[in-house]
Each structure stands twice: as C-alpha cells, then as structure tokens.
Copies of this chain bind each other. A is one copy, B any other.
C-alpha cells in the first residue's frame, strides 16, 4: 500500500467495486481463512474480498496493482503447503473465489465443462454426472477443494494413473493477470501454435502469476460399474510386478493403483471407527486397485478383477485378495486408504513428504530410503503409501513413541525432511509430486534446484508480476 492511500481509502474503493457481499473486514469473520486447514500456517489480512465475477476480480487486481497491495487467492483452503495463507504482515487482501461458482456450460459432444474457479470438486462431479459424464479427478478434499485451487496446484489424486493430473484435464483457462488484464483462453482448440503456452504456465503456478477465474475441463464417459480390490502383497517390488501385469492385461480399465503398508492399515483399524480389514490374515503390504468400465461391451469389472486376481495369485504376486461386491464395500475399501493421514495424526507426530521418483525406481526407493531414514533417526518409523502407479508416494516419517507433538516437527523434524529430500534428489525425483510448493517447501526448492531452473522460475515470476503482488512468498525461492 502506498503512503498516499490509507487503509480506509483502500477498503472504501474495494467496497465500491464489490458491494457489501463481497468485502469482509471483521476479524472474527476472517479468522477461519487465515489458517490453513491443517493448522500449520497462520497469517493476517487487510480484508477478504469475494468478487462475484471475472470483471470484479480484474477491478480488484487493478486496484491492488495501482496501490502495491499483495493479493492471496484462496479456493477451498484445503491446500497442503500453505499456498493460500497470507503472511503475518496484514497488508494482503485475501481473495476468495467462492462466489465465482457457476458452471458456465457443459458441452456433451465435445465432452468439456467450463467451470468457474469457486466450483467445488464434488459439485462439479455431480453436475456432469447428470449428463452421463465424469470429471476423472478426485481426492480426499473433494467437498472443499475448488476448480481454481485444483488448476493452480496441478492437483493429482487417486485417478491419475489413467487420466493424468489436472494439467492433462485442463483444456483452457481464463485468468486475471497481475496487471489486471483478463487472459481469455477458455476456447478449446485441439491445435494452436500461437506462441508460448500460457495455459500450462498458469496450471500449477499457485496463484503467483495471476488468478485463475475459470477453466475448461475435459470430461470422460461416466463409469457404468466398478470393482475395488484389496490385496495383500509381500513387498513394494512385488506390488510393482502386479502393477505391470495389470497394466498389460487391463490398462484401459484400471482406474487406480495404491500401495498401503501394514503399519498404515493397522493405524486406520485402530483409530478410525467402523473400519475393518478386508482380509483375514496379516500381510506386510497391501494394494488397492480399482477397475471400472465406461463401455457396456467391456468385461464387467467384477469378472475382470476375479480373473486377474486368480492369475496374480497363481503367479505368486498376491498373497490374498478381496473384491468388492457392492458400492458400499468399494467405498469401505477406499475409506481405509483415505483415512491413513487422519489415523496417523491420532497416533502421533509425523513428517510428511509428497515425493516422486521415476515409476520403475519407486519400489526400491521405498525400501532403501525407508531403511536409511530409520537407521539415521533412531526410533522413527517410515510409512510410504499412495499412488505407486504414478511413481508418487506420501513418504511419512513417524516420530518415536512419546515424542513431543509441539517441538518434534521442528527438531528433529526439519532435519528429517531435509534428509528425505536429499535422498529424493539423489534418486532423480521431485520433492513435490502433487501438493505444490507454497510457503512450506519454498526454501527447500531453493536449496535443491539447479541454477537454470531457479533462473527460469524467478524470471517468469518477475516478468508476469514485476510488482510482486500476486501471492508473494509462495513457490518462487528468493
């Protein structure tokens, strides 16, 4: 904010742009949005602005640009890296996309939907489902995560194996750039070579290059039915063999392939009410596989799953397997997977790392890096779970029993994270597979990136946002 403009002047002008519904300055109303949902990051803001449409968003950004006021865009506030939490200075505007929540159009022939930034993922699922279509990305926070946040973080989730991350599903974007101009890239052309790809630059930019106000998203036919398999396996290496077999046999019908170590399942069964193990015996590792069909002529997923599990059993790849016989059982299997983090939090503190390495290297990485970390930090226990088919696991390091919840995450927690990140970089991997960088990993990205990447990140940021008003302090290392 320039000296010539007082706080009151600014809110007065915002009020003229937005009207009473779009502006919140009351501390109690603001409070819930100034802390991330995990409670790890806290900030302050001058006000929360909730524009009704793209034009109002542009007017706010022009005013912010003119006055040098930082803007922090926020969707469902369900991010994992503090990307939507302002800093503590209190000079920022928190820009909520919640009122821009229209589904502008659904094109059933082209199989696309144009959704505004504030549309909640679950609402989107329901809206396109009514047309026999499906938006093939889902994740735990679907009840709060918004289209704008999903685009801006290039979100992943549990269906990436077949359908890719958001980047593969975003066919067009509309955004307000940091100078207040509106980039209209919603029209979808299959081929367009008019210069640098702005769309791919905005996907995953975490609001640091502009505010995504709407997106054209790819849809696929709705699933007719599905079957979820829970299987016990001997090790991540065997799980990988199973994955290769299933890809060869049923690549088009396999919607997800997740790995779960015994420790995670045990925590879930212990802490989450109403859960029970799908298998009778104990197994060191588990996989969850989802098969689905969108074509009535294809083999029914149930039958496909039974045949494939029989073959996998004969080949010694699975120790035991249960196949869901109803939707509620399918959901119960998924609940085991989706409750891992919640159960872990009940158990005690843990350092969480969202990492990827080349897909083929992941089984060995899980085993070797896990052993290395447990050896280096006595008493810790590593649990790596998640999207093994994407070369992406959540590599969690649980504190020794009795560790202090308040202090352990800082010390030795941060040291553990740096150690894990070093192992990931040595394996040619990424310290952020799907959660993004935000404020949580910014310094680590700076520490671990080569100079050419850092140069490029900083140059792009400065080019788009020379005044540094767009989500400052996020993503780009200083």
Q: Which residues of A are interface residues toward B (Cβ below 8 A)?
A: 109-110, 153-154, 156, 160, 165, 167, 177, 179, 181-185, 187-198, 200-201, 203-205, 209, 356-360, 387, 390-392, 428-437, 445, 449-453, 455-457, 459-464, 475-476
Contact = CB atoms under 8 A, between A and B. Distances in A.
A190 B456 contact: no
A434 B193 CA distance: 6
B192 A460 contact: no
A138 to B, nearest CB: 15
A436 B195 CA distance: 7
Given A177-B452, A197-B203, A189 B429 contact: yes
A392 B193 CA distance: 11
B450 A195 contact: no
This chain: copies in complex:
2
B392 A194 contact: no
A184 B454 CA distance: 12
Contacts of A190: 160, 356, 359, 390-392
Summarize A's interface: helix, strand, loop or mixed: loop
29 contacts: A109-B360, A156-B191, A160-B190, A177-B455, A177-B456, A181-B452, A181-B455, A183-B452, A183-B456, A185-B453, A187-B358, A189-B391, A189-B429, A190-B356, A191-B434, A192-B430, A193-B434, A193-B437, A194-B449, A195-B445, A195-B476, A196-B205, A196-B209, A196-B461, A200-B201, A201-B201, A201-B460, A459-B464, A460-B463
Given A179-B455, A194-B430, 6 more contacts: A167-B197, A177-B452, A194-B431, A195-B204, A196-B209, A460-B460
Contact of A194 (B165, B184, B437): B437
Nearest to A167: B197
Given A200-B201, A452-B184, A432 B360 contact: no
A156 B357 CA distance: 30
Contacts of A189: 356-358, 391, 429-430, 433
A441 to B, nearest CB: 8
Contacts of A428: 187
Given A179-B455, A183-B452, A437 B195 contact: yes
Contacts of A392: 190-191
Contacts of A188: 358
Of A196, A430, A457, most buried by chain B (CB within 10 Å of CB) is A196
Of A110, A156, A460, most buried by chain B (CB within 10 Å of CB) is A460
A191 B452 contact: no
Contacts of A185: 453
Contacts of A194: 430-432, 437, 445, 449, 453
Of A187, A195, A436, A437, most buried by chain B (CB within 10 Å of CB) is A195
Contacts of A434: 191, 193
Contacts of A475: 195
Contacts of A181: 451-452, 455
B191 A197 contact: no
A460 B196 contact: yes
A245 to B, nearest CB: 13
